[in-house]
A and B are shown apart, each in its own frame.
Chain A
Amino acid sequence: MKVALFIPCYIDQFYPKVGIATLQLLEKMGCEVVFPQNQTCCGQPMANSGYEHITGDCTKLFQDNFDEYDYVVSPSGSCTLHVKEHIPLKGRIYELIEFITDILKVESLEGEFKHKVGLHQSCHGQRGLHLSQMSELNAPFFSKPEQLLKNLKGLDLITLDRKDECCGFGGTFCVAEEAVSVRMGQDRLGDHLKNGTEILTGGDTSCLMHLEGIIRREKHAMKVMHIAEILNQAIS
C-alpha cells in the first residue's frame, strides 16, 4: 500500500525523530512510504487564530503535494482534523493510529516495551477524530491507541484520575492565555506524576511539546515519546 506522509511543520523542525519513527513504523507494517518534498503546513495555526481566510495558499500547496495519493497519513491528530475539515483532497487523510487500526486493520501489536506509560489523549484526536470514546458521553468504551499499546509486553498503561482532560496547548492559546495554558499543563502532568507515569505518550506532538516544555522547566524525571516512537521501538 502506498502512503504519503504528511509531517507537520513543527515535527519537521523540532521533532524529526517522530517523523522518522512514523515512516519506519509504516514500512514495518508493509507500506510503501513517500514524503512529498514541497509540503509545509496545513494552515491550522492561522485558521484556529481566526485567519482561515488567508490559508488559501497553504491549502493549494497542500493539495498540490497530496492530491495524487489515496492515503495520506500524519502523526498528528490535530493537523489531520484540520485537513479533514478544511482541505478537500482526492484521496483521504488519516491520523497514524486510526490508519493502523482502521485501514491496516491491526487488532493488536506484538512487541515489548517495559515501561509505565501514561497516554495523553489529544482533544482533536479524541473528540475530533474519535480515536477513543469520550468521557462525557454515555456510550461504550473504545480506544484505538490503547488497542495498539495494551498488548505490548511489559507495558504498564497508567490509569489517570481525569482520563481525557485537555492539556492546555490549544495553538495560539498557549501564548495568548499563557497563565491558564501552563496551569492546565501542570495539572495534566500532576495527574500523570501522581499515578506513576514514567513515559508520557500521545498522538499529538503539539500537546507533547507543551507538556515537555513544562517537564523540563520543572525538572521532572518523566520522559516524553510520541506513540509512533513507542510502537516503532516496541515491534523492532
Chain B
Amino acid sequence: MKTHSEAAEVFNKDFDRTTWHDQTLFMVRQKRDKAAFQIDDWELLRETASQIKNNVLSNMHNYLLQFEENASNNGIKIHWAADAKEHNEIVYGIISDYYRGEIPVDTFKGMVKSKSMLTEECHMNEFLAEKGIEVIDTDLGERIVQLAEEPPSHIVMPCIHWKKEEIGELFHKHLGTEKGNKDPQYLTEAARQHLRDKFLTRPIALTGVNFAVAETGEFVVCTNEGNADMGAHLADVHIASMGFEKIIPQKKHLGVFLRLLARSATGQPITTYSSHFKKPRDGQQMHIVIVDNGRSTQLGREDFRNSLKCIRCAACFNTCPVYRRSGGHSYHSAVAGPIGSILAPNLDMRANADLPFASTLCGSCSNVCPVKIDIHQQLYKWRQVLVQEGYTSMSKTLAMKGMSTVLSNPSVFKFSGKVGRMLMDKLPFLVNNNMNPWYKQREMPEPPEESFRDWYKKNKK
C-alpha cells in the first residue's frame, strides 16, 4: 500500500487533473459558505450542535439503552456488533433467515444499498460477495465507483474524482449507453432505469443512518436521490447499519442537525429527502445493527473522543487544501480527508501512521466543521501519540534528536559553521532524505553575508 505522500505524488503527476479536482471541490466549499452565511445564527447553530454532541458522548450508554427500548417497542429489531466482522455476519444472518437458510441461486437475491460509509468501513460488500450475495450500490456516485471496482473517494460525493467522459465510457461498457455520450442528464437517466429495475426486484435493502433519536426510537436517513427510500419502501427487509455515535437525545435536536448538515455538505438548504423511519410497514422486517468497531475505544481517548461527534458532512474534505490536491484514495481509508485522518489511527495505528502527517495544520477543517471538532488539534496530538508509540522511522527520530540538541545548546547553534550551513543540515524540512525534496521544485534560500545575531552584535551591542 502506498503512503499518503506516495499516492499524492502520483496524483499530482497529472497537473491539469489536479487543478480540476481542486477547483471542483473548492466550488463546493464556496457553496457551503454561501449557504452558511445566509443564516445569521450560523455560528450559534454550530456551537449548539457541538454541545448536543458533547452531551451525547457523555451520556452515550443511557441514550443507547433508551433508543434500543423505544425502537424495539416500535417493532424494530436491534442487533449489536462489536466489530466489522460481527456486523457483516449479522447482516448475512438476517438475509439467511429471510430465505430460511436456503439462499436461492438466482440473480434476484441480494440487496440494494444506499450510502453507508459504515459498510465501507466494514468491507461488507466483499464479505457478502464471497457468500454469493450481490450488493448493488444505488447512490449514483457509489454505483459508478462500484462498477469501476473502486472504493468511494469522498463520503458525500463518492466519484468526485471521475470525469464525465470516463463515466460515459464506463456506462457504455456496463449499461450499454451510447458510445461517446457524456451528457450528465443522459447518463443519470440511464442509471435511473438500470437501478429502478434493481429496486423493484431486490427483497432486501440496506441503508445507513444519519441520526438515531433516543427519545423516540426512530432513525433519519438523508439523501438527495431518493435511493434510500426507493430501496427501503419496496424491500421486504430493511436493514439500517449505524455506528453507535449516530445517536441524538431528542427529536427536536434534529432541527439543529438538519439545518447544518446539507448546508455544510453541498450548500443546499436541506437534502431533498430527510426520511424518518420509526416503524416497519405492515409485513416488513426492520433491523438496526449498532456497531462499535473501535468507537468505544475512541470514546475513552480524551484527546480524540470528539472525533465521534462527526455527522459526515464532508465540509472538512472540501475545504482541505491537501485533500483537494491528493484525492480521496491517497488516504487508503474508508473515510478520507481530515476527519478520516483522525479516525483511522484509532483503528490501526501502524497502517495509518502517515495520515495525521498529511496536513499542514492550517485549521480550515475545524472552522467549517458544523459540530466544531478540533480536527487540526487532533492531527497534532495524533502525531505525538504515533511518535511515542514508535510508529515513525528511526532516521527521523535521530534527525529530530540531533536538531533538538543543536537548538537547545546556544554555543553549538551560534558556532556551527558558516551562516546558513548549520540550518541546511539541521532544519527538519531540509533533512530526512538523501535527495533533498525541498530542492526538487524549489530553490534553497540564499545564505546571507551574516546572521541576524552577528549583525546585532556589530551594530547594537
Question: Is A58 among interface residues, defined by CB-CB distance under 8 A?
Answer: yes
A187 nearest in chain B by CB position: B22
Known: A19-B452, A179-B9. A136 touches B362 (CB 8 A): no
Interface of A is mostly: helix
Once the chains bind, are A213 and B36 in contact (CB under 8 Å)?
no
Known: A20-B452, A35-B453. A213 touches B403 (CB 8 A): no
Once the chains bind, are A179 and B8 in contact (CB under 8 Å)?
yes
Known: A49-B383, A184-B321. A179 touches B408 (CB 8 A): no
Once the chains bind, are B5 and A177 in contact (CB under 8 Å)?
yes
A selection of 26 A-B contacts at a CB cut-off of 8 Å is A7-B453, A10-B427, A12-B452, A14-B447, A16-B455, A23-B460, A45-B403, A46-B403, A50-B357, A50-B388, A51-B387, A51-B404, A53-B387, A57-B404, A58-B408, A138-B43, A166-B321, A166-B360, A172-B428, A174-B429, A178-B5, A178-B437, A179-B5, A181-B360, A187-B325, A213-B443
Question: Is B98 among interface residues, defined by CB-CB distance under 8 A?
Answer: no
Q: For residues 31 through 54 of chain B, which have their beta carbon under 8 Å from a beta carbon of chain A?
A: 33, 36-37, 39-40, 42-43
A47, B408: Cα distance in complex, Å: 14
Known: A50-B383, A50-B387, A179-B5. A40 touches B408 (CB 8 A): yes
Residue in A37, A40, A171 whose CB lies within 8 Å of B407: A40
Pick out which of these stretches binds chain A: B113-121, B213-221, B285-293, B363-371.
B363-371
A165 nearest in chain B by CB position: B321
Once the chains bind, are A123 and B451 in contact (CB under 8 Å)?
no
Contacts of A10 in B (CB 8 A): 423, 427, 445
Residue in B11, B12, B452 whose CB lies within 8 Å of A16: B452
Closest beta carbon of chain A to B7's beta carbon, Å: 10
Contacts of A184 in B (CB 8 A): 321-322, 325, 360
Known: A177-B322, A217-B442. A46 touches B428 (CB 8 A): yes
A190 nearest in chain B by CB position: B19
A34, B437: Cα distance in complex, Å: 37
Question: Is B450 among interface residues, defined by CB-CB distance under 8 A?
Answer: yes
Question: Is A66 among interface residues, defined by CB-CB distance under 8 A?
Answer: no
Question: Is A134 among interface residues, defined by CB-CB distance under 8 A?
Answer: yes
Contacts of B401 in A (CB 8 A): 54
Residue in B5, B367, B408 whose CB lies within 8 Å of A137: B367
Residue in A9, A13, A47, A123 whose CB lies within 8 Å of B360: A123
Contacts of A11 in B (CB 8 A): 452
Residue in B36, B407, B441, B460 whose CB lies within 8 Å of A178: B441
Residue in B357, B384, B408, B419 whose CB lies within 8 Å of A13: B419
Closest beta carbon of chain B to A187's beta carbon, Å: 7
Question: Is B440 among interface residues, defined by CB-CB distance under 8 A?
Answer: yes
Contacts of B454 in A (CB 8 A): 16
Interface of B is mostly: helix
List 8 A-B pairs, minimum CB-CB distance, nearest first: A170-B360, A213-B442, A57-B408, A50-B387, A50-B383, A136-B367, A19-B452, A166-B362
Digitize B377-394: 1 where CB-to-A-CB distance is under 8 Å, 0 elsewhere: 000100110111000100
Once the chains bind, are B392 and A50 in contact (CB under 8 Å)?
yes
Question: Is B271 among interface residues, defined by CB-CB distance under 8 A?
Answer: no
A20, B436: Cα distance in complex, Å: 30
Known: A20-B452, A41-B407. A128 touches B423 (CB 8 A): no
Contacts of B437 in A (CB 8 A): 175, 178
Question: Is A151 among interface residues, defined by CB-CB distance under 8 A?
Answer: no
Digitize B396-407: 1 where CB-to-A-CB distance is under 8 Å, 0 elsewhere: 110011011111
Once the chains bind, are B360 and A168 in contact (CB under 8 Å)?
yes
Question: Is B56 among interface residues, defined by CB-CB distance under 8 A?
Answer: no
Question: Is B18 among interface residues, defined by CB-CB distance under 8 A?
Answer: yes
* Besides the known contacts A40-B410, A180-B8, 6 further A-B residue pairs in the complex with CB atoms under 8 A apart: A17-B448, A40-B408, A50-B386, A58-B408, A136-B364, A178-B438
Contacts of B43 in A (CB 8 A): 137-139
Known: A10-B427, A50-B392, A187-B22. A176 touches B408 (CB 8 A): no
Once the chains bind, are B363 and A13 in contact (CB under 8 Å)?
no
Residue in A14, A57, A165 whose CB lies within 8 Å of B423: A14
Closest beta carbon of chain B to A169's beta carbon, Å: 7
A37 nearest in chain B by CB position: B453
Question: Is B361 among interface residues, defined by CB-CB distance under 8 A?
Answer: yes
Question: Is A127 among interface residues, defined by CB-CB distance under 8 A?
Answer: yes
Contacts of B392 in A (CB 8 A): 50
Closest beta carbon of chain B to A82's beta carbon, Å: 11
Once the chains bind, are B447 and A170 in contact (CB under 8 Å)?
no
Closest beta carbon of chain B to A120's beta carbon, Å: 12
Digitize A123-144: 1 where CB-to-B-CB distance is under 8 Å, 0 elsewhere: 1100110000011111100000
Question: Is B456 among interface residues, defined by CB-CB distance under 8 A?
Answer: yes
Contacts of A118 in B (CB 8 A): none
